[in-house]
Every structure is written in C-alpha cells, then in structure tokens.
C-alpha cells in the first residue's frame, strides 16, 4: 500500500513540456545582482563552523536553493527575483553582520537568532523598508542601537534580546508605527526609556527587563491601547514611583517591575480588567496593599521584599485563579486569613502557593486546614511562636523544594512492548496515538515562553496544546509536550514533539513540505492570537493570556536534523518526490507560461496512448489540444527518467531562449508537485 502511494505521488509529480510554434518568451530569471553581491558580502563576514552556507557559491540564490534564503515566486517589476526571507537561525554562526544587508531591499524577514554573532547592528538594516520581522536575539551583539532602525515603518516584531547592546533606546523607535513586539530585554541598555514609545499604538509586548535603564517610568504608557505585557524587571529607576496613570491600562495582562528600585505606594490596579500577573517584588514600596479587588483572572501576585504594612486585603480571598501569592519579607500584620483558597477551582490541576514568611502576622483567622494543593509558608512570623494554635507548626518549618520538572503526561503507550519501534533513536511511540503503539519520528521543537502570565503550568498545559495544534493545523495526538522547566525571568522552556499524522500511508515521518510548513509557521510568527476554547472550565481571559505568552516565544527547530531523518529512513522511494517538493520554494520561471497537470491531462485525454506521437530517452511525447484549440506537443518525463528538476528547468530555460525558425518553441511548462500531497483519492 505504501508503495502504491509513492508511485502515485511520482506520476503526479511528472514534468511536462509543451512544444510548439509560439512567440519566444523572456530569458530565465535570476536574483537581482545587488542582492547576490550583498549575500556574498554577508557570508564573507560570517564564521560558519558547520559549513551551513556551503552552497552559497553555487548558482543563483533564488533558483539554486541557497540555504536559508527564500525568494518571491514572481519576478519583480525590474525583471529580477528578490530575496524575501533570510532565515539563518540557530546555525552556530559567528562573525559580524555586514552592512550590505541593507541592499536586500525586498526583505521581509531577517532572522539570525540564536547564533554567536558579534559586532554591532549595521545601521543599513534600517533602510530595508519592507522588513516585517527583525530577529537578532540570542547573539553577542554589542554597540548601540542605530537610530535608523526607527525608519522600519513596516516592522511588526523587533527581537534584539539576549545580546549585549548598550547605549540608549533611540527616540526614533517611536516611528516604528506597526511594531507589536519590542523585545530588548537582557542587554546593557541604559538611560531613560523614551516616553515617545507611547506613540506606538500597535504595541502589544514591551520587554525591557534586565538592562541598565534608569530615570522614571513613562506615565504615557498607560495610553497604549493594546499593551498586554510590560516587563521592566532588573533596571534601576531609583527614586521614582509607579505612575498613578498605570491604574488606567486598558488591556494589560502582565505588569512586572521586580527589582527596579521603585518607591512609593502600591497602586490600585483593580480597574485593569485583564490583569493576571503582577510582580512588584524587591522594590522599596511602602504603605498598605490596596483593598480593592483585582481582576478575577489574577494568577500571580508577588509583592515580596518591600516595606509594606497593614494586613492582607479581604479581596485576595476572592481570586479563583490565583496560583501564587507572595508577600514575604514585608512588615504586614494582622491575622492570616484561612479563606484565601475558598474559591479555588479544583476541577483542573489547580495549585496555590502562599508565601507569607518574615512578616508580623500574629494570629490565624479561622480554621487552618488547607487542601493538599495549597502550600502555605509562615516561618518568620510571630504566629509561629504560638504553639497552642492547631496545625500551625506544619507551616512554620522549612518547606519542600520548588516545582520539579514534570515529564511525560500520560499516554496510551503504557501497554506497548518496550523498544518495539525501529531500533534507532529517532523513532518512538506516539504517546496519544489513536492507533495503538504507532511508531514515528518526531519533530522536536524547543519553545520558550518569554513572559508567561501564570506561575504554575499544569492547568494551562491543555489550553496551550489546543492552541499550538490548532495554530499548526495538527491533530491533538500529534503534539506531545515532552518536558518543561522554569528558567530565571521567569521564563518557561519546554520541549515539544510533533508527530506526523497517521494517514492512509501510515507514514511515520514528516515529508519535507510538511516540515517546511511547520517551520514557516514558527519562524514567521504567523500563529493566530485567538484560539478556540474547548470548554475546559478555564476563563477566557486566561486563555488569551496563554496565547499572548505563546506568541512571545523563541523557537529553535531541529529542521535540518529532521530532514536528514526523513531522508535516511524513507529510503529511495522518497527520493523523487522529495526532489520535486524541495524545488517548490524557488522554482517558478517568469515569462514562461505555467500549466497545471490537470490541464495537461485534459489536453491529452489523460495521456491517452492514441495521442502519443513519439518516445525519447526522456519520456513520451503526446499531441494535445488546449482549450483555445491550439495544438501542442507535450513532453512528459517518465518517472524513471526524472533526471532531476534542475535538468528539467535547464531544458526549459534553454528552449525558452531558442528562436530558430526550424525549431518548435516553448509555450509553457508544468511541474506539478502540489497535488501529490493530497493523496486522498489514492
Ligand atoms: C535545497 O537545500 C536544502 C538545504 O540545504 C537541501 O536539503 C535540499 O536538498 C536542496 N534541494 C535542492 C533541490 O537542491
Ligand atoms: C553549536 O552550538 C551548540 C550550542 O550552542 C554547541 O553545543 C555546539 O558545540 C556548537 N557546535 C559547533 C560546531 O560549534
Ligand atoms: C557587555 O558590554 C559591556 C560594555 O558595554 C561590558 O562591560 C560587558 O563586559 C559586556 N558583557 C558581556 C557579557 O560581554
Ligand atoms: C520620526 O521620523 C521623523 C522623520 O522621518 C523625524 O522627524 C521624527 O523626529 C521621528 N520621530 C521620532 C520620535 O524620532
Ligand atoms: C537575563 O538577565 C538576567 C539578569 O542578568 C539573568 O538572570 C537571566 O538569566 C537572563 N535571561 C536570559 C534568558 O538570558
Ligand atoms: C549602569 O548605568 C550606570 C549609570 O546609570 C553606570 O554607572 C553603570 O556603570 C552601568 N552599569 C553597567 C553594567 O553598564
Ligand atoms: C485615568 O483615566 C481617567 C478617565 O478614564 C482620568 O479621569 C484619570 O485622570 C486618569 N488617571 C490618571 C492618573 O491618568
Ligand atoms: C468566592 O466565595 C465567596 C464565599 O463563598 C463568594 O461570596 C464569592 O462570590 C466567591 N467568588 C467567586 C469569584 O466565585
Ligand atoms: C491537586 O493537583 C493535582 C495535579 O497536580 C490534581 O490531580 C488534583 O486533583 C488536585 N487536588 C485537589 C484536591 O484539587
Ligand atoms: C527571613 O528573615 C531571616 C532573618 O532576617 C533571613 O535569614 C531569611 O533569609 C528570610 N527568609 C526569606 C525567605 O527571605
Ligand atoms: C498514567 O499512566 C499510568 C500507567 O499507565 C497510570 O497508572 C495512570 O493512571 C495514568 N495517569 C493518568 C493521569 O492518566
Ligand atoms: C477576565 O475574566 C473574566 C471572567 O472570567 C472574563 O469575562 C474576562 O473576559 C477576562 N478578562 C479578559 C481581559 O480576558
């Protein structure tokens, strides 16, 4: 059965040539020469220990499939092909970024994240006005941010985090009028945050944490209509306060101002309807905690390590989604309320951590008998000295450790024979497979939520799985969250496995186009922000927060490895269809008419042998009639003679240039590869 599928795939993948007298078309397209020279200059300044760019000297960038380069299918108005994406993430590249990058004038995605690049960001990048994503995070870039980046008026995502960029944030950044994600965290940026950034009305995530910023917090930020995440931890705004206007944020989900040297009072944030995560810990905040009830969607409240006084507001007992409440190391007084967990939803894997250590709590209000999923820590409070209180000792000792990394949520593979998958490391059981004990080679993806809006993951695993699989258009069983762990920040790193779908072929590997599709979704951040709520009893607000966190992720896919796997384990039967597939990215010949396989089949009465007029070494030639009654000769390459797309296109190119009167000329071509992917009829 499997064989049949592939053979069919091959015959759909046939290559057809149309030959007959017709006007001669234009010469074969090439990449714009200035872009070719720019790419060569880029390569020259890179150090490439794994030789990933070894094919960057053969042929044309767009038509010879240079690594990491994606081009527009169609010719530009200038008659050239143009580079659309430069995707060189996670390739161990070092060296510097060449200023010639600025010559890639049609570029939409510039992605060098997770390499070892040094040097500064060339200001010339600011001239690529078409740029949508600029992703240079996770390198060792230094120097200051060029003002010119502010000219990128089409940019929607700027990720420069985890470098060592210094200097100030340029005011010109206010001109990036489309930008939604501004990730400049974990650098050495200094000085005042430009209040002008509040003019970027599209801004969703502003991550400036872990820099050396100072001055004051711009009050104008509260005017940003869509801002969801404001994260400024570990900067030094000594002497300033949290602006009163911050109570006016309209859509803020997460406010994180940990360790910022802030003074003054905790603002009343009860009017922010979507707030779920508030971290104001390790500042010098004083006074009482505001009484008004925060959003029902709160998962995390961290006010630890301040100088807060007064008692715990009664409204904290009315937050059903609460996971973490940390008030340790303050001067809080009064009783410890025992009804904080009264509204906790135990329908999901809920958990509540209450950390009240090192305060001045002197009594217990009510009966102290929290459910198992509530951890309460009281040591360092006067109440611990009161030995008469029931149960108190249980909460005054030193406590169990932190969250452990959880592995492998349950599967249907428990009853499968051990090690029955092909004996190499790539295959494994698909945990949630509807087909029992189905072995497949997964695509592994490292995924990091840069700013999760919860502090305990298990209740959100399922919504995240739903979100990811629906965004990737996969079935639920195709995803398995393998492991996850919290990192400093807090950031949540997880490793996902994606499994191929169980289709008619029972194919146990992804094909190349599927890998490319998934990779593209990841690397271009085209995930939808909204996703379906499968009635899981979790409020919508939280789901949105998960989604937003999910979009703010960094990704590294082992695509190259997986392509190798696909190769190695599908053997020869895949070789042909892969060849056809992989050219799809760059092969479309301008100036030569393109026909579909269906049109060709129609013209030749389904390649009826009565229409066959010749046979060459390469395959058969048929007489065909186009819908406009033009009679044509159609050359159909045979499966066995598929000498390769390259030769095929070379032949077309050659023919398209020949104008000799005695020679038939090219009308068009067909190089159908799309259809064999949908083998449902087979
Ligand atoms: C295109 O490049 C990729 C990655 O370098 C390679 O795996 C693939 O075989 C190439 N395809 C062709 C047709 O050259
Ligand atoms: C590539 O980078 C990874 C992780 O950054 C590292 O483990 C590996 O040794 C590097 N390989 C080379 C050839 O530099
Ligand atoms: C980052 O740059 C600063 C100077 O701007 C330098 O002092 C520091 O050592 C650099 N840090 C790293 C990790 O390279
Ligand atoms: C935006 O750009 C214009 C020129 O293009 C410049 O005059 C203006 O100062 C810039 N705005 C900011 C806030 O830098
Ligand atoms: C960001 O910087 C902080 C403080 O320097 C550090 O603890 C944290 O690990 C960094 N995060 C990343 C992802 O590099
Ligand atoms: C941070 O900025 C202050 C001035 O505001 C400066 O004195 C200090 O050296 C900077 N620290 C780093 C690590 O760049
Ligand atoms: C918050 O918004 C209200 C109107 O919505 C306005 O009256 C008030 O002055 C604002 N507060 C601050 C501190 O900006
Ligand atoms: C929480 O529980 C209290 C007392 O049972 C109740 O009055 C309140 O409405 C509950 N709140 C929510 C959000 O369920
Ligand atoms: C505690 O959490 C576990 C999962 O972590 C969940 O299965 C269990 O139902 C919870 N228990 C209660 C009493 O909610
Ligand atoms: C509580 O205070 C004691 C004494 O000041 C200190 O040693 C301890 O680290 C504090 N505990 C926490 C959790 O900060
Ligand atoms: C997970 O699998 C183990 C072993 O098959 C089983 O005992 C357990 O009940 C499962 N847990 C869940 C939550 O399905
Ligand atoms: C917060 O939760 C409430 C009630 O669950 C919900 O109606 C609302 O949409 C949430 N807020 C946001 C901004 O999602």
Residue nearest to atom 4 of ligand 5 (CA): 210
Q: Which is the closest atom of ligand 12 to the Cα of 545?
A: 14
357 lines ligand 10 (CB under 6 A): yes
Q: Which is the closest atom of ligand 3 to the Cα of 140?
A: 14
pLDDT above 80: residue 219: yes
CATH top class, domain 26-214: alpha beta
Hey, which of 248, 249, 252, 272 would you mutate to test ligand 7's pocket, going by the most ligand atoms within 8 Å of its Cβ?
248
Nearest alpha carbon to residue 269 among 222, 224, 308, 232: 222
State in Å: Cα 237 to ligand 5 middle. 18
- CATH 3.80.10.10 occupies which residues in the chain? 26-214
State in Å: Cα 584 to ligand 7 middle. 55
Q: Which residues line ligand 2 (CB under 6 A)?
A: 49-50, 92
Q: Is 635 annotated as a binding residue?
A: yes
CA 288 to mean position of chain CA atoms: 41
Q: What is the pLDDT of residue 213?
A: 98
Q: Which is the closest atom of ligand 2 to the Cα of 116?
A: 5
Q: 590-681 domain in CATH 1.10.540.10?
A: no
pLDDT classification of 527: cutoffs 50, 70, 90: low
Ligand nearest the Cα of residue 554 is 5
- Higher-confidence residue of 215 and 576: namely 215
Ligand nearest the Cα of residue 492 is 5
Task: Look over the chain and give the mean of its residue pLDDT values, rounded to a whole number.
Answer: 76
pLDDT above 80: residue 304: yes
Ligand nearest the Cα of residue 194 is 4
Q: What is the pLDDT of residue 343?
A: 77
State in Å: Cα 675 to ligand 7 middle. 58
Tell me: the pLDDT tens digits for 160-198? 999 999 999 999 999 999 999 999 999 999 999 999 999
Long-range contacts (CB closer than 8 Å, 24 or more residues apart) made by 625-630 = 626/599, 627/602, 630/20, 630/667
Q: What is the pLDDT of residue 235?
A: 98
State in Å: Cα 210 to ligand 5 middle. 7
State in Å: Cα 383 to ligand 10 middle. 16
Q: Which is the closest atom of ligand 7 to the Cα of 219?
A: 14
**3-state SS assignment for residue 6:** helix
Nearest alpha carbon to residue 146 among 131, 129, 130, 166: 166
Q: Which is the closest atom of ligand 12 to the Cα of 274?
A: 13
Dist. CA 570–CA 510, nearest whole Å: 10
Ligand nearest the Cα of residue 533 is 12
Residue nearest to atom 10 of ligand 3 (CA): 164
Mean pLDDT, rounded, for 93-115 = 95
373 lines ligand 9 (CB under 6 A): yes
Nearest alpha carbon to residue 144 among 121, 110, 113, 173: 121
Dist. CA 599–CA 668, nearest whole Å: 12
At residue 483, φ and ψ (nearest 5 deg) are -145, 160
* Highest mean pLDDT (candidates 408-422, 436-450, 533-547): 436-450
Strand partners, 40: none
Dist. CA 520–CA 607, nearest whole Å: 36
CB 183 within 8 A of CB 209: no
Least confident of 183-187, 233-237, 362-366: 362-366
Neighbours of 306 (CB within 10 A): 24
Dist. CA 177–CA 220, nearest whole Å: 16
Residues 6 or more apart whose Cβ sits within 8 Å of residue 156 = 132, 133, 178, 179, 180, 181, 202
- CATH 3.30.200.20 occupies which residues in the chain? 590-681
State in Å: Cα 42 to ligand 3 middle. 25
- Higher-confidence residue of 135 and 557: namely 135
State in Å: Cα 411 to ligand 11 middle. 7
State in Å: Cα 449 to ligand 3 middle. 26
Q: What is the pLDDT of residue 504?
A: 62
Residue nearest to atom 7 of ligand 2 (CA): 92
pTM attached to this predicted model? 0.74
């Amino acid at each position: 059965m499997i064989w049949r599928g592939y053979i069919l795939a091959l015959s759909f993948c046939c290559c057809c040539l149309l030959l007959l007298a017709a006007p001669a078309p234009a010469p074969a397209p090439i990449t714009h020469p200035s872009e070719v020279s720019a790419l060569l200059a880029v390569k020259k300044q890179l150090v490439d220990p794994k030789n990933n760019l070894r094919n960057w000297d053969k042929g044309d960038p767009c038509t010879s499939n240079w690594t990491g380069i994606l081009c527009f299918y169609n010719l530009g108005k200038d008659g050239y092909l143009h580079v659309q994406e430069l995707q060189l993430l996670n390739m161990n590249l070092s060296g510097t970024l060449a200023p010639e990058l600025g010559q890639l004038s049609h570029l939409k995605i510039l992605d060098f994240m997770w390499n070892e690049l040094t040097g500064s960001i060339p200001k010339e990048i600011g001239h690529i006005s078409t740029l949508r994503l600029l992703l240079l995070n996770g390198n060792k870039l230094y120097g200051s941010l060029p003002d010119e980046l502010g000219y990128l008026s089409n940019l929607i995502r700027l990720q420069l985090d985890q470098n060592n960029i210094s200097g100030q944030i340029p005011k010109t950044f206010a001109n990036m009028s489309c930008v939604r994600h501004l990730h400049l965290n974990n650098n050495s940026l200094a000085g005042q945050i430009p209040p002008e950034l509040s003019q970027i009305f599209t801004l969703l995530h502003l991550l400036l944490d872990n820099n050396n910023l100072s001055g004051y917090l711009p009050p104008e930020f509260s005017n940003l209509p869509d801002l969801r995440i404001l994260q400024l931890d570990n900067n030094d705004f000594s002497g300033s306060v949290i602006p009163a206007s911050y109570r006016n944020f309209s859509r803020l989900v997460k406010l994180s101002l940990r360790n910022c040297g802030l003074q003054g009072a905790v603002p009343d944030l009860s009017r922010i309807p979507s707030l779920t995560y508030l971290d104001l810990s390790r500042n010098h905040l004083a006074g009482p905690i505001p009484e008004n009830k925060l959003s029902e969607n709160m998962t995390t409240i961290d006010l630890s390590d301040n100088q807060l006084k007064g008692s715990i507001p009664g409204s904290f007992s009315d937050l059903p989604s609460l996971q973490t409440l940390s008030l340790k190391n303050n001067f809080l007084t009064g009783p410890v309320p025992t009804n904080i967990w009264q509204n906790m939803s135990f329908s999901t894997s809920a958990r509540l951590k209450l950390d009240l250590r090192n305060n001045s709590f002197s009594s217990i209000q009510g009966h102290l008998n929290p459910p198992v999923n509530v951890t309460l820590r009281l040591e360092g409070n006067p109440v611990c000295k009161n030995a008469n209180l029931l149960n108190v000792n249980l909460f005054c000792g030193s406590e169990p450790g932190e969250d452990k990394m959880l592995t492998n949520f349950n599967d249907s593979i428990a009853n499968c024979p051990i090690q029955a998958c092909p004996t190499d490391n790539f295959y494994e059981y698909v945990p949630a497979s509807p087909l029992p004990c189905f072995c497949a080679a997964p695509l592994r993806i490292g995924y990091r939520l840069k700013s999760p809006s919860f502090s305990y993951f298990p209740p959100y695993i399922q919504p995240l799985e739903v979100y990811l699989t629906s965004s990737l258009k996969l079935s639920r069983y195709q995803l398995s969250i393998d492991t996850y762990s919290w990192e400093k920040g807090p950031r949540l790193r997880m490793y996902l496995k994606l499994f191929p779908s169980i289709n008619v072929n029972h194919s146990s590997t992804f094909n190349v186009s599927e890998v490319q599709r998934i990779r593209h979704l990841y690397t271009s951040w085209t995930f939808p922000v909204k996703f379906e709520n499968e009635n899981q009893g979790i409020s919508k607000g939280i789901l949105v927060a998960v989604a937003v966190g999910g979009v703010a992720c960094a990704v590294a896919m082992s695509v190259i490895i997986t392509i190798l796997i696909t190769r190695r384990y599908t053997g020869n039967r895949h070789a042909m269809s892969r060849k056809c597939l992989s050219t799809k990215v760059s092969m479309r010949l301008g100036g030569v008419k393109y026909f579909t396989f269906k049109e060709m089949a129609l013209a030749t009465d389904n390649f009826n042998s009565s229409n066959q007029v010749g046979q060459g070494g390469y395959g058969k030639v048929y007489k065909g009639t186009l819908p406009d009654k033009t009679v044509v000769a159609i050359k159909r390459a045979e499966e066995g003679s598929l000498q390769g797309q390259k030769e095929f296109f070379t032949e077309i190119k050659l023919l398209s240039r020949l104008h000799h009167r005695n020679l038939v000329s090219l009308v068009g071509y067909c190089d159908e590869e799309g259809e064999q992917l949908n083998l449902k009829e087979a």
